[in-house]
Every structure is written in C-alpha cells, then in structure tokens.
Structure 1
Amino acid sequence: LVYQLFLDASLPEREPSPYFAIDSAMGLVRLKKALDYDDDTQPKHHQLKVYSLSDDHFKINDRGEISARKRLDADQNRERFYIYRFNVTATDRGEPPLSSTAAVHIRTENTNDEAPIFIPTGNYQAYVAEDAQGGTPVVQIQAIDPDRDQVFYAFLLPNGNEAVSTGLFEIDRDTGRLFRNFFFEFLLLLY
C-alpha cells in the first residue's frame, strides 16, 4: 500500500509547520511532536504527553508514531484509494491535565496486491464434439480481480510461458471465452 497523510491540525500546542513521515514498509506515520508550553514550569513527570486516537485500525506510541494494527486496504470502495480519518489527542500530565486534538487523514492507494479469483470455481468442465469446427465455443472462463484491475486470460504452458493458443484450443485474452482452435483443424487436413 502507498500511504499519504494529511494533517488538519487544530493543536494550538503543536509546532507550527505540519510534519509527517511515512515508512510504507512498516506502515509507520510520525506526527510532529506536540509542544507543552508548561514544560519549564512543571515537574518532569507532568511534562510527559499521552497520545490517544479514535480508530481501531491504528495505534499510537508515546513518541506520537502512528502505525497500522490491521492490514489497510484501499479496495473498500470503487475508487483507487481509501481515506482513513480519525483524531489524535495529546494530553499532558499537568494539573489540571490539558489536551489538544488534531484530525489525521491517511490516504491508502490501491496497488496490485491481490490475485484474480475464478468464479464460480477454479475448475471448469466442458464437452465438445470431436468433429467440432474450428472457432466453436467450448466454455466461458470468468475471473474477477479484487483490486478492480482488468483480467487477462491465457494458457499456462508446461515451460512456464503464457499463450492464448494451444494445439487444440484458443482463449480470448479479454473475455475468457475458450474456442476450438482453427489451426488444429488445418493440421488434420494435412494428414
């Protein structure tokens, strides 16, 4: 996934320029340090900040680093991205404790991370007459891609290559329709 973070900051105590760092390999987002202007007047144990957030997909540590608890998926709607929106609250340990909140928007962009799925099954059976003409439809193969990418069809050959035609059959790369091969009929005429 590709992460993009937007801060709509309403933290009067946070440093003025918005800051975020994204480590997409770890799914880690670092927020700019929240400032506590009472730091010089409060004992050290009161200066510590406690962070909390309002979304169970994420967690935040005592350094203000947000990370994903669960796999984030951009395939939740028909768009090529999904935006997670939640609030982060920073609370100091002074007396009385004071807090501020920032709105966090994390945009996940779709990547090709899911394989196509054959429907209704991965096993197809079809029957065709032995004297069927070349071009005779045999069976319709159908698959969907959870990433909403276009699916292309091909035969996987024993050598690992892909082809749209074998000796007996050919498949329409775009539709998945399997046909009797014209070329095989031509070979039979030669013998």
Structure 2
Amino acid sequence: MSTSDKLQLAFERFDALNQADPNTEVFEGKSYPKEVLYAQRMTKQLNSFAPKASEALKLTARCQHICRWEIPRDSYDMNREGYLRWRQALKKFHSEKAASVLSEVGYSEEIISKVSFLLEKKQLKKNEETQTLEDVICLVFLEHYFEPFAAKHPEEKTIDILQKTWRKMSDKGHKSALALYLSNDALNLISKAISA
C-alpha cells in the first residue's frame, strides 16, 4: 500500500470513529458530528500552515480529538486540578485510540510512536513538529471557536484565554493568527490581549 493510500485509509478510519460523536455542529448549512468537523478543520489548517508537514504530523492533526466525547469534562472535578487531570487522561486516551487505528492500517512502530509523542504535546517550544501542531490547534480555535466562546464569557476571562493561547504559539503562528478573517470585535479582543 502506498504512503498516500495508507494516509487516506487512516483518515477514513479516524473519521468513521468520530462519526459516532453525539454532539453536532452546523457549518455552512450542514450538520456534522462535532469531532468530524474539528478533524477536517485541523487537516485544512495544517495543509495551509505547514504544507510540507510529515506524514506523522498529518496523522496527528487528523486524530487530535479522536472520540473526545467519551471522556467528558464533567467526569472530573470542575476546578483547575480536575481540568489538568482531564487533559492528561485525554492525551493518553487519544494516543491509545490512534495507535490502535494506525496499527490496523499497517503503520510502523516508528510512526505510531511519533504520533503518540505529538498527541501528548511533548517538548512544546523545543520540538518543531510539536510546536507546529500547537500552532495549528490554536489557529483552528481562533478561526472557528473563539467567537462563540467569547460570546459566552466575560471579557476578562476571554482575554485571559487569548493570552494563554498566544503564549503557546510561535512567531509564525502569531503572524498567521493576525491574518485570519475575523470580526472587528474578535480582532479588538486579540489586540487587547497581546498588548496587555
């Protein structure tokens, strides 16, 4: 099986698992399982931001939230400690789910280990591919999820989230973020956050 065939098959397997997401999102008049749409947005953003991305990074972007609904946020205490424990559990869960699919598709242990490494966000700011993944995650958040988030929260919390997001990004990520097509309200909040 060629590399491109294997990659496409893995994408199809990831998307098939995410089709079971009970949460939906309407985009451009069509309803999608939430994590299917998120995965497609991740792939699209990676292709734009890093068109020469490795196969491992392409796989990771596609499965970054695989079956996320199976471990809901409220299954952990609704405080900072609970949030961090939830995030750690998700990283391990996504890594195991992805490894199972990649093994079935016929990927090598080397690729599977690399995808796990990236899913667990190891060496952020030190490893180029981990940083690229984080930039893409942040760009997808800013482009598609930030404005609905801002509408539900006070400005102070929104700016705090933006500052945390900004700190995780590279200079290249910052430039791409400022080039996104966003509303004036969103751009004003970003401006406040990065100038504070």
TM range (shorter): under 0.3
Structure holding more strand per residue: 1
What is the TM-score when the length of structure 1 is the normalising length?
0.21
Whose radius of gyration is greater, 1 or 2? Answer: 1
**TM-score, normalised on structure 2?**
0.21
Higher helix share: 2
